[in-house]
Amino acid sequence: MSKVRYWQKDIETIGRRALEELQLKRLRSSFGRLYRHVPSFREKCRAAGVSPAAINSLRDIAHIPFTTSDDLRAGYPAGLLAVDRNRAIRLHTSSGTTGKPKAIFFSKRDIAQAAELVARCLTMTGTGSGDVLQNMMTYGLFTGALMMHYGAEKVGALVIPAGPGNTERQIALMQDFGTTAVHILPSYALYLATFMQQHGMDPKKDLSLKRAYMGAEPYSEKTRLKIEKLFGIDVYNCYGLTEMNGPGVAFECLEKNGLHLWEDNFIVEIVDPVTGQQLPEGAEGELVLTSLCREAMPVMRYRTRDITRILAGKCPCGRTHRRISRILGRSDDMIIVRGVNIFPQQIEQVLMGIRGVAQNYQIVLESLDELTIRVEIARDMFDGNIEHLLSLKSEIVEKIRSAVLVKPIVELLEPGTLPVTEGKAKRVIDKRTI
Ligand code: ADP
Ligand code: ZN
């Protein structure tokens, strides 16, 4: 374990009891400030019969009402600010998929703290001074790119604020400046590899890349392995959301076995997505987060809609902050076909494990009982031998059927047929709602 490096060793390896004391102290302070300064929140608490005086242990958090994305939307554009608006120095919005955005404000201290958490994550995975981090996420109202940028500067890496898209320029920058780390969407990493191969380059040999930070959308372990192999790098999963600072909420260490969630900054709960009841440790359910250090806009018990579970046991890296599993999907991403609940990631996991399947795919829903999967396949599969195509197709059909229990219709496509988005990939086309 000589490779283990810490950014803030004391807090990263803090004993559980001291950590829980710190959490309680911070919870009481955040809850109290929110209660005093945000009338709509106070009313909700009064209706639920809870006031700051009722929070005497961490367990009491269960009495505090949830905050949903609708609550945050309803507060737009004022935001649920717990400080005077003049104290806010940055606005981000989180779009979600429909309706009004959510206005999320940051104070100077909040920005510094967000960067601090990203710095922990980068140090933990080996990025520091001497590294060149090319940030291929969208700069702008999203937190993704900017917070990573600040954290990477903090650890002393040279940051290239490339933003997304313009693949030729991305490759030129990577080659000209010897990029060692990228912050990238999984869907774009797959596209980048295809693009390089189509242009006679080898993503493994023609770059100096060592690692990639990948998050913002769910992806499977198979996809991680595929990308690691294509580029010859380590891929680390990073999780975050605008409501909780952005990236750096939870992050994989060198073990790549679950994401450490920084519990000195957030309280983690897993609840039943339907009933909202807390679930026992280890059960799969919806992640609920409470911010502990956010100054401008603390958020209590936020329903993230992200499905995960808390992993048991200690991590060999020595960090005491508990780990969550990779995000399985959003509770609102789940598709139902023939009454069966399916997360797109289950389909992706199958596809990325099949030889001959290329990087892009799309799930199309035309009716309640039909699941169509359009899959790009490697160019060398189109070798004129129809047998090869037919056997690949039936392999895909069979493997998906056994994974999700619904027999899909599979369409094989040439690479480059499906649209590539600059932002988060749109994998599911649900024609049933149009
Ligand atoms: P939105 O997409 O709603 O505008 P954000 O840009 O803040 O909001 O993105 C946060 C969401 O992105 C998370 O709630 C989660 O659904 C998804 N996400 C972020 N990181 C990951 C990750 N590593 N794995 C899976 N999903 C992720
Ligand atoms: Zn660890």
Distance 49 CA to ligand 1 centre (A): 32
Is the bond preceding residue 298 a cis peptide, omega within 30 degrees? no
Ligand 1 center to 382 CA (angstroms): 36
Q: 173: how many CB neighbours lie within 10 A of its CB?
A: 17
Task: Provide φ and ψ at 92, rounded to 5°.
Answer: -125, 155
Q: In this predicted structure, what is the pLDDT of residue 207? A: 98
Q: Which ligand is nearest to the CA of 124?
A: 2
Q: What is the DSSP string of 269-321?
A: EEE-TTT--B--TT--EEEEEEESS-SS----SEEEEEEE-BPPS--TT---S
Q: Which helix (DSSP H) or strand (DSSP E) does residue 28 occupy?
A: helix 16-37
- DSSP-derived secondary structure letter, 205: T
Which mutation among 188, 309, 327, 331 tests ligand 1's pocket best, with the greatest number of atoms within 8 A of CB? 327
Q: Which atom of ligand 1 is nearest to the CA of 97?
A: 3
What is the full per-residue pLDDT of the chain (434 aa) written as tens digits? 458 999 999 999 999 999 999 999 999 999 999 999 999 999 999 999 999 999 999 999 999 999 999 899 988 888 899 999 999 999 999 865 556 789 999 999 999 999 999 999 999 999 999 999 999 999 999 899 999 999 999 999 999 999 998 999 999 999 999 999 999 999 899 999 999 999 999 999 999 999 999 999 889 999 999 999 999 999 999 999 999 999 999 999 999 999 999 999 999 999 999 899 999 999 999 999 999 999 999 999 999 999 999 999 999 999 999 999 999 988 878 888 888 888 888 899 999 999 999 888 999 998 888 999 999 999 888 888 899 899 999 999 999 999 988 899 999 999 889 988 777 778 888 888 65
Determine the atom of ligand 1 nearest the C-alpha atom of 237.
23
CB-based burial label for 401 (10 Å; 0-12, 13-18, 19+): middle
Residues having CB closer than 6 A to ligand 1 are 94-96, 142, 215-218, 237-242, 304, 306, 327, 330
Domains and CATH numbers, the chain: 1-332 (3.40.50.12780), 335-430 (3.30.300.30)
Decide if 255 contacts 381 (C-beta within 8 A).
no
Name which residue sits closest to atom 12 of ligand 1, judged by CA.
216
The closest-lying atom of ligand 1 relative to the alpha carbon of residue 326 is 24
Q: According to the model, what pLDDT value does residue 2 have? A: 58
pTM score, whole prediction:
0.89
Residue 337 near residue 400, CB atoms below 8 Å:
no
Ligand 1 centroid to Cα of residue 199, in Å, is 32
Burial pattern 207-223, b for ≥16 Cβ within 10 A else e, equals bebbbbbbbbbbbbebb
Q: Label residue 76 left, alpha or beta by phi (over 0 means left) and psi (-120 to 50 means alpha).
A: beta
Helical axes 167-177 vs 186-198, angle rounded to 10°? 80
d(CA 22, CA 24): 5
pLDDT of 67 reads 97
Tell me, what's the pLDDT at 367? 82
State how far the Cα of 421 lies from the Cα of 196, in Å rounded to an integer: 17
CA-CA-CA-CA dihedral for 187, 184, 191, 410, to nearest 10: -10
Taking a C-beta distance cutoff of 8 angstroms, is the pair 239, 259 a contact? yes
Report the 3 state secondary structure along 48-114: HCCCHHHCCCHHHHHHCCCECHHHHHHCCCCCCCCCCHHHEEEEEEECCCCCCCEEEEEEHHHHHHH
Q: Report the alpha-carbon distance of residue 316 to residue 252 in Å, rounded.
A: 12
Separation of 216 CA from ligand 1 center, angstroms? 4
Predicted confidence at residue 96, as pLDDT, reads 56
> Cα-atom radius of gyration of the chain, to the nearest Å?
22
